[in-house]
Amino acid sequence: MSASTNKYIDPLSDFGFKHLFGGEPNKEIMIAFLNALFEGEKRITDLVYNPTELAGDDREHKKVSFDLLCTGDNGEQFIVEMQRADHDNFEDRCIFYLSRLIHQQKLKSNRHWEVKMKEVFLIAILDFNMKNCLSDHYLQSISLVNTGTGEIFHNGLGFKFLELPKFGKKEDELENELDKWVYLLKHMHSLDQIPKYLDKRVFEKIFNIAEMKKLSPEQQFVYDSILQREEDDYSRLKSAERRGMREGIEKGKEEGIEQGVERGMERGKHETALAIARKMKEENFDPVKIAGFTALSIEEIERL
């Protein structure tokens, strides 16, 4: 599929999601999205983007990579993930990601706990239905609660899952800001103009940024390359899972099956980046630009 067949990029693609939501110059888009998602539960007025990789404390602790990581004006942190395909250990991965973010805070020793932990949240935009969520609503908000009373035990740690397949509202049925954002995510790539119900300036801005004709030649090349590989994504994911399962079984207690699955999935992402980098090198793109689009090192690109 060529990018030129649509007026707007697909915000659910890896390139599209990061292009629209992941840059400091356009951070008002992320701020507006998060405020719609939290629906008054909290209000973000500013944020900064953080590096998306967290290294382990030593060789025994693996590095983790997020799609996006940002910090709000009150110090709260948000991991924002786009996930198109389900896998058996998805919930475990989300918990592991948040735990690493908490661990990175490294609170100074204080026997009286006078220093409050910064709030941490994981937001996942999902192009599938989760196995462990029974609600029919497209937004799943998960917090630490007292299972006897249902009251929140701690509101500084939580998960928000947007299950896009559960959203079936039409353009004239949108009731609130979150409905509008989910409609945009699901339908932008197939639209030829801004729907009249998306009347805020932030929506006009995101549609403007998403226009195919606004992409640079390098950006369009990367976007087309990713779309061409999406038809193989599902089989590649399953292959990575099987490979990871074998690695986990071989390593047994030393690493564990779940960690093996994670390794297999990360290897699949790395192989995609390498394939795009090879194509860009064949087209004589500058190595620095290739590194920027693929997150590979200059050394890796030069070895291709």
> How many whole angstroms separate alpha carbon 20 and alpha carbon 209?
7
Average pLDDT over residues 133-140: 86
Letter string b/e over residues 183-200, b meaning 16 or more CB atoms within 10 A of that residue's CB: bbbbebbebeebbeebee
Q: Say if residue 7 is exposed, middle or buried (CB neighbours under 10 Å; 0-12, 13-18, 19+).
A: middle
Q: Higher-confidence residue: 149 or 253?
A: 149
> How many whole angstroms separate alpha carbon 76 and alpha carbon 223?
32
Answer whether residue 4 shows pLDDT above 60: no
Look over the chain and give the mean of its residue pLDDT values, rounded to a whole number. Answer: 83
The partner residues of 157 in beta bridges, in order of sequence, read 120
Could you report the per-residue pLDDT of 96-134, keeping only the tens digit for each? 999 888 888 866 556 666 677 889 999 999 999 988 777
Contact 215, 228 (CB under 8 A): no
SS (H, E, C) the chain: CCHHHCCECCCCCHHHHHHHHCCHHHHHHHHHHHHHHHCCCCCCCCEEECCCEECCCCCCCCCEECCEEEEECCCCEEEEEEECCCCCCHHHHHHHHHHHHHHHHCCCCCCCCCCCCCCEEEEEEECCCCCCCCCCCCEEEEEEECCCCCCEEEEEEEEEEEEHHHCCCCHHHCCCHHHHHHHHHHHHHHCCCCCCCCCCHHHHHHHHHHEHHHCCHHHHHHHHHHHHHHCCHHHHHHHHHHHHHHHHHHHHHHCCHHHHHHHHHHHHHHHHHHHHHHHHHHCCCCHHHHHHHHCCCHHHHHHC
pLDDT band, very low/low/confident/very high, at 251 (cuts 50, 70, 90): low
Longest Cα separation, the chain = 62
pLDDT band, very low/low/confident/very high, at 8 (cuts 50, 70, 90): very high
Tell which residue, 142, 105, 136, 104, has the closest CA to residue 123.
Answer: 142
Note the pLDDT of residue 1: 43
What is the number of alpha carbons within 13 Å of residue 153 lying toward its C-beta?
A: 10
Answer whether residue 243 shows pLDDT above 80: no
Note the pLDDT of residue 254: 45
Could you report the per-residue pLDDT of 13-46, keeping only the tens digit for each? 988 999 999 988 889 999 999 999 999 889 999 9
Q: What is the spatial order of strands in the sheet that 77-83 belongs to?
A: 47-49, 68-72, 77-83, 120-126, 152-163, 139-145
Q: Higher-confidence residue: 21 or 154?
A: 21
pTM of the complete model: 0.78
pLDDT band, very low/low/confident/very high, at 294 (cuts 50, 70, 90): confident
216 torsion bin: left (phi>0), alpha (psi -120 to 50), beta (else) = beta
Contact 22, 47 (CB under 8 A): no
Note the pLDDT of residue 78: 97
